[in-house]
Amino acid sequence: MDPTTFKDYLFLIPLLPFAGAAINGILGRRLGLRAVHLIALGSVLGSFVLSVAGFLALVSIKSPEARRVVSVLYQWILIAGQTGSFHINVAFLLDPLSSVMCLVVTGVGFFIHVYSVGYMHGDPGRARYFAYLNLFTFSMLVLVLADNLLLMFVGWEGVGLCSYLLIGFWFSELDNARAGMKAFIANRVGDFGFFVGLMLLFWTLYVSSGQAVGSLSYGELKGAAPLLLDAEPILGLSVPTIICLALFMGATGKSAQIPLYVWLPDAMAGPTPVSALIHAATMVTAGVFMIVRLNFLYLLSPVALSVVATVGALTALYAASIAITQNDIKKVLAYSTISQLGYMFLGVGVSAFAAGIFHLVTHAFFKALLFLGAGSLIHAAHTNDIRKMGGLRAHMPATFFTFMVAFLAIAGIPPFAGFFSKDEILFSTFNAHLAAPGLGKLLWLVGLMGAGLTAFYMTRLVIVTFFGEFRGGESAEEKLHESPRTMTGPLVILAVLSAVGGFIGLPAVTHLPNLIGGFLEPVVALKGGAASHGSHSAALELGLMAVSVAAAAAGIYLGWYLYHKRPELPGALRERFKNLHAVVYNKYYVDEAYDRLFVRPVIAISRGTGRFDLGVIDWVVNALARATERISAGIGWEDLKVVDGLVNAIADAVKYWGYHTRRLTTGKVNHYLYSVVLGLFVLYLLVLIT
Amino acid sequence: MNSLTTYLLIAAMLFTIGLFGVLRRRSLIAMLISIELMLNAASINFLAFTKFVSPDPATGQIYVLLIMGVAAAEVAIALAIIISLYRWLRTIDIERADRLRG
Amino acid sequence: MDLVQIARSNLEGFRYAGTEVALCVLIVALLLSGVILPFRKNRRLFLIISMLGLALAMTASLKQPGAGKGVRYFADLFLWDSFSVFFKLFFVAAAAFTILMAQMNREVEDYEFNECCLLVVSVTLGMVLLASSVDLLMIYLAFETMSLLSYLLVGIRFREARGGEAALKYVLYGAFTSGVMLFGFSLVYGLAGTTDIMEIGRILNSAHMAGQNRALFVLMVLFFLAGLLFKTASFPFHIWCPDVYEGAPTPVTAFLSVGPKAAGFAVFIRLFYTLFAREVGDQGFAAIEQVDWPAIVAVISAITMSLGNLSAIHQDNVKRLLAYSSIAHAGYLLMGIACLDKLGLEAVAFYLVVYLFMNLGAFAVVTAVNNGEGGEDIRFYRGLSARAPMACVAMAVFLFSLIGIPPFAGFVGKVFLFSAVILKKYYWLAIVAAINTVISLYYYVRLIKAMFIDQAEVSFEPRVSGVSYAVIGALALPTLVLGVYWQPLAAFIESIF
């Protein structure tokens, strides 16, 4: 399609799912099942088709630099100041980055919608479920397509809300509700940082510099960003660093990185397709997307980038180590997601933005596949516990084969998709020049260990669930069955994508074009071209590749040896390293630590303030009375009857007051009236202080 | 001693007495009387300022007349509320009105 | 000025007093129709009369003054400017929603409804007068009109002990603080020798006053604050608020939490920005040298919001919870006043409008739940979403907006307030407010959780009538729309100051 024509249809990409959500949300109960499915699936399919059309329209533009389509819907905010006017539009931007993201969101989203038809079969809340799912798709598309930071923030909050709603979808179970709550609060902590970053950015660019930046749109921000370097440092940190770190705090919340990752494993309480779509393929990658989108900002601050890379690498290793000990199949996959997101952050942290997005795409394929496969298993075995599965290979061949593809992809075995993207990230890390010398090599080592662990825990998962004997009891074994076609269909398609998806980003050593890297280049153009290509010897690249394949192979072999060849060994090892296992199994007790450090003190403080009013007032009254008595004794005014009476009156009042507050009787008018007088004293003290 | 200061001192004393009265007394009626004392203190201030400061001799006096009106309305309303509450409490001791708390 | 001239100027004044006249006519109509025996219990009739009257008042206030400083009328006691027009519209809208809520509410009996309408309209008259007064005397009278009648409004259910007790507390606390404020008025009058606040402002801010009479200024500011902080339910004069809000019928509580509170802010701005500050440049003001009151207001604001939010956490009574929430919001609004520039005032006005919708909305849902066999305790809200889904969704919208979550209007309001504070470099205040927003999340979400997640504890059938849904919807719509499209309102408010 012609790009200029397409501009007029751009808004339909997010709007279609919104319309679907509105119809299903309002009329869902009255519409028939078929109509609900048709609307939900049709709207997402429609925006997928439009996304493809948008992608083709972009490609049809010859010059890569000109691949930008901006569509302004209406003016949202207008503030006319003295130095210039400030306005923010509701506008959508289609460029290579948002186009790729749109394809992933609507494409993977569509398959998950199809899968949901089978998975949610017979659930009474289906209309509500699809309405939420469509609403989520809408919010995610707004996030991705937004042309300015504020609109992106709207989408950012929107996906959080939908995630919260979907985690708590089966709200009759208390744990699910708690998990929804936890996700909500962890995200609020992160969003606070995001918002601070946003405000600081706005403030330094628009207000403090006196420079009238017209809007927060990316195009203008990119032009104005160098101005940030002139701003005065705050607390020894340059302004871009602070902004980037604050925004990254938002990313750690949304994308479940250290230290705000705690909500994601609990979020697995929601329906499995939701885990696949929101908590694996799309929403949790929003943080990575945000950093890539603002790459021009992050490039101003090597410190912030190094922090991003370090947090990413540590999360990758840390979460992988927890995944080894978990027995709930979805929890294993959740920690795996956290770990893989860590790789993406590692990638963008070392300025390999295209590699980060590449891994985001391949991860969307294979992790969605893993989750959907897990859903299929849970559907059949009616449990999340892998210890009660086993030998499912024979009963569910389609699920098994597709799961194996995803397994090979995530483990990093060539030529499956995960290999290429993860390898590109590790290669870029090895060659990265970060804020501290040698940090790149160190992070590479951490990443490599994480890759080995990944292969190990995935092997464990595959062997325990698919091989050996079924351990769920005879009655359950009879009911084992392959899932319906609406579920296996998406599995097969995602398996194909996971198998061949890696070829869109071939490494430089093959001398074949890196399609995704080239496509994204205008958005993430680096100083001196993409850092990971060309400048290093092919031997080094091949060598590193071999090392990472070896790590993966070692992980797989170890997993196979421990869980298949010598199945008695893991138990013995667990016995031997009982304490270590307990620590890892309990996720390093981070949840407990957060509870002690943050949750309980706040509750304790709030309990105290319930009585704060009267407690403090009591204390002040007593102090005043004592002071008055001392002063009057010192001056020798006791003889004066009037003063004496007054002092006595006050003293009486104080005793009277104290007597009652000691019994903590509240709700008495005369106490309230005392508070007026005390309030005046407080105000007077304030006058003295200020 | 026929100066502005005298009047102001008297007003300040009246105000303070009223203030302490509201705080000290437990009888609702006595508390209302004390509040009236505070309003009267303000009235004395207005009259004194009119006499010694203001270019327009009428303003303060009009003020005082209106304050008296407001005070009467206030007492009427407060008494109505006290009487209706008395039906429940059978007392005018404010200590007893503490069902709402926390 | 001879008598004819005075009469003529007063007659001319009626051109600007359309709202006041309409409200007076409405009061008389309600009084007369209320004493006719056959109509005594006819809710619908009084509702129609009130709505017609308020619509009339609304149209009368729509006339906009042009640019400039506005017109003085009624012997210069009142000023007709955009500021007063804005607040007149605000108060009339609040009254209309209150009467609609009272109509659908079972707490107000049929034979009390006429009085309820009458009192709400009278309090509104007081507030409208207050918004346009520029004379100390008139401000005091309007303030007392509003206060005295709202004491009665709280005690309208005198057959119930809780209502009587709440009214008693309100009247004693209110009379006490307004007495203190009046004493402050007398001091100002003594210092300036006039009661016209524009004139007083000029004198107090003049050069020869600078640096003198510090003690007197301190007393004045303190005594003024006593009255104003009481009306806005701010620290340290907030203690009455939860008791009164709990004891009053829910529509009355809703009205108090919006109407008189906003009136308190209106007169706060009018008094402090005229008497104790002078305009400097195009956008800013400068406070008098004697007392640094903006700093005091900033501290009060921080304490108020913290106290309100922390105390709300353990409340099980929803009305009491919303009372503490309204204390916290008074704290947020005070931030804008502490800013001492037009941006801050605009933020206050904008937030007030948003607050009108979201807070009245929350109370409208509470009213709806109170009907039937429900109550105010949080256990009646557990699992309510299964039985009254639309009401619960609306409640969630209002509560999310009160927290300040996008895309709801409360978020936009908070953004305006926060940016005003940050631009004024009150960083610590912005941080305190941000922390408070997080704390407030806890108790609002607790209520949302009760509605959507918890199991039902008490089984009762909520009777939410069509009118209730209409009112709730009418309040939810602006809460949503202003969250994404606030430009016209922001532009209108910008023209006020």
The rounded distance, in Å, linking the Cα atoms of A469 and C6 is 104
B vs C: CB pairs below 8 A: 125
pLDDT score at A521: 81
Residues 586-615 of A with CB under 8 A from B: 610
Q: Check CB contact of C189 with chain A, cutoff 8 Å.
A: no
pLDDT score at A626: 61
As separate numbers, helices (DSSP H) first and strands (DSSP E) second, chain B gives 3, 0
Residue A630: which pLDDT band, with cuts at 50, 70 and 90?
Answer: low
User: What number is the average pLDDT over the span A260-264?
Assistant: 83
Domain that holds residue C490: 292-497
pLDDT score at A644: 47
Q: CB A667 to CB B95 under 8 A?
A: no
Q: Check CB contact of C185 with chain B, cutoff 8 Å.
A: yes
Q: What is the 3-state secondary structure (H, E, C) of A553-587?
A: HHHHHHHHHHHHHCCHHHHHHHHHCHHHHHHHHCH
Query: Which chains have 3 or more CB–CB distances shorter than 8 Å to chain B?
Result: A, C
Examine the pLDDT at C86 and tell me if it is beyond 50. Answer: yes
- The phi, psi pair for A342, rounded to 5°, reads -60, -40
Q: CB C171 to CB B74 under 8 A?
A: yes
Q: CB C144 to CB B73 under 8 A?
A: yes
* A44 vs C388, higher pLDDT: A44
Query: Which chains have 3 or more CB–CB distances shorter than 8 Å to chain A?
Result: B, C
Scanning every residue of chain C, which has its alpha carbon at the shortest distance from the alpha carbon of B89? C161
- Percent of chain C past pLDDT 70, that is, above it, reads 97
pLDDT in tens, C107-150: 888 888 888 999 999 999 999 999 999 999 899 999 999 999 99
Q: Check CB contact of C189 with chain B, cutoff 8 Å.
A: yes
Examine the pLDDT at A27 and tell me if it is beyond 90. Answer: no
- Judge contact between A303 and A373, C-beta under 8 A: no
Q: For residue C19, tell me if it sits in a domain.
A: no
pLDDT score at A632: 47
The enclosing domain of B8 has a CATH number of: 1.10.287.3510
> Which is nearest to C167 in space by CA: A581, B78, A17?
B78
Q: CB C176 to CB A676 under 8 A?
A: yes
- For C240, the token pair is 């009455």
Burial class (CB in 10 A: 0-12, 13-18, 19+), A402: buried
- Number of domains, chain B: 1
Q: For residue C187, tell me if it sits in a domain.
A: no
Residue C94: which pLDDT band, with cuts at 50, 70 and 90?
Answer: very high
pLDDT in tens, A138-159: 999 999 999 988 889 889 888 8
Please tell me the distance in Å from A460's CA to the nearest CA on chain C.
Answer: 36
> Which is nearest to A192 in space by CA: C433, C489, C166?
C433
- Judge contact between A197 and A241, C-beta under 8 A: no
The rounded distance, in Å, linking the Cα atoms of C142 and B21 is 27
Q: For residue C114, tell me if it sits in a domain.
A: no
pLDDT in tens, A650-683: 445 434 433 443 333 356 666 777 777 777 777 7
Q: CB C226 to CB A177 under 8 A?
A: no
pLDDT in tens, A33-46: 888 899 999 999 99
- Among A610, A666, A670, the residue with its CB nearest the CB of B23 is A670
| Most confidently modeled range among C150-164, C237-251, C262-276 | C262-276
pLDDT in tens, A299-354: 888 899 999 999 999 999 989 988 888 888 998 999 999 999 999 999 999 988 98
Residue B1 CB coordination number (10 Å): 5
* A185 vs C399, higher pLDDT: C399
Examine the pLDDT at A611 and tell me if it is beyond 70. Answer: no
> Which is nearest to C402 in space by CA: C370, C360, C432?
C360
- Percent of chain B past pLDDT 70, that is, above it, reads 88
The rounded distance, in Å, linking the Cα atoms of A442 and A537 is 20
pLDDT score at B99: 66
pLDDT score at A450: 92
Scanning every residue of chain B, which has its alpha carbon at the shortest distance from the alpha carbon of C223? B42
User: What number is the average pLDDT over the span A107-116?
Assistant: 90
Q: CB C296 to CB A177 under 8 A?
A: no
- Judge contact between C409 and C480, C-beta under 8 A: yes
Q: CB A680 to CB C455 under 8 A?
A: no
- Percent of chain C past pLDDT 90, that is, above it, reads 38
Please tell me the distance in Å from B94's CA to the nearest CA on chain C.
Answer: 9
- The phi, psi pair for A385, rounded to 5°, reads -85, 120
Residue C118 Cα to chain centre, angstroms: 19
pLDDT score at A336: 93
Instruction: Name the E strands within C93-251.
Output: none
Examine the pLDDT at A109 and tell me if it is beyond 70. Answer: yes
Residues 386-405 of C with CB under 8 A from A: 405
Residue C163: which pLDDT band, with cuts at 50, 70 and 90?
Answer: confident
Q: CB A670 to CB B19 under 8 A?
A: no
Considering chain C, what is the average pLDDT of its residues? 87
Count the residues in chain A. 690
Q: Check CB contact of A335 with chain B, cutoff 8 Å.
A: no
> Which is nearest to A117 in space by CA: A282, A278, A273, A275?
A273
The rounded distance, in Å, linking the Cα atoms of A488 and A501 is 19
pLDDT score at A607: 55
| Most confidently modeled range among A207-221, A612-626, C124-138, C272-286 | C124-138
pLDDT score at A575: 77
- Judge contact between A288 and A353, C-beta under 8 A: no
Examine the pLDDT at A60 and tell me if it is beyond 50. Answer: yes
pLDDT score at C268: 94
Please tell me the distance in Å from A615's CA to the nearest CA on chain C.
Answer: 13
| Most confidently modeled range among A16-30, C65-79, C295-309, C430-444 | C295-309
Q: For residue C65, tell me if it sits in a domain.
A: no
Q: For residue C456, tell me if it sits in a domain.
A: yes
pLDDT score at A651: 46
* C185 vs C384, higher pLDDT: C185
Examine the pLDDT at C461 and tell me if it is beyond 80. Answer: no
- Among A668, A669, A677, the residue with its CB nearest the CB of B19 is A677
First-to-last alpha carbon distance for chain A, in angstroms, is 66
Residue A207: which pLDDT band, with cuts at 50, 70 and 90?
Answer: low
Contacts of A411 (CB under 8 A, 6+ apart): A418, A454, A455, A458, A459, A552, A555, A556
- Among B19, B22, B98, the residue with its CB nearest the CB of A667 is B98
User: What number is the average pLDDT over the span C258-262?
Assistant: 94
Scanning every residue of chain B, which has its alpha carbon at the shortest distance from the alpha carbon of C311? B102
Examine the pLDDT at A586 and tell me if it is beyond 80. Answer: no
- Number of domains, chain C: 1
Q: For residue C330, tell me if it sits in a domain.
A: yes
- Judge contact between A614 and A674, C-beta under 8 A: no
- Among B22, B24, B98, the residue with its CB nearest the CB of A665 is B98
pLDDT score at C110: 81
Examine the pLDDT at C196 and tell me if it is beyond 60. Answer: yes
Q: For residue C398, tell me if it sits in a domain.
A: yes
pLDDT score at A402: 92
pLDDT score at A633: 56
User: What number is the average pLDDT over the span C76-102?
Assistant: 91
Q: Write the CA distances from C272 to A669, C88, C126, C157, integer angstroms.
A: 29, 20, 20, 36
pLDDT score at A85: 67
Q: For residue C306, tell me if it sits in a domain.
A: yes
Ramachandran bin of C76, using left for φ above 0, alpha for ψ from -120 to 50, beta for the remaining angles: left
- Among A653, A665, A666, the residue with its CB nearest the CB of B23 is A653
Considering chain A, what is the average pLDDT of its residues? 80
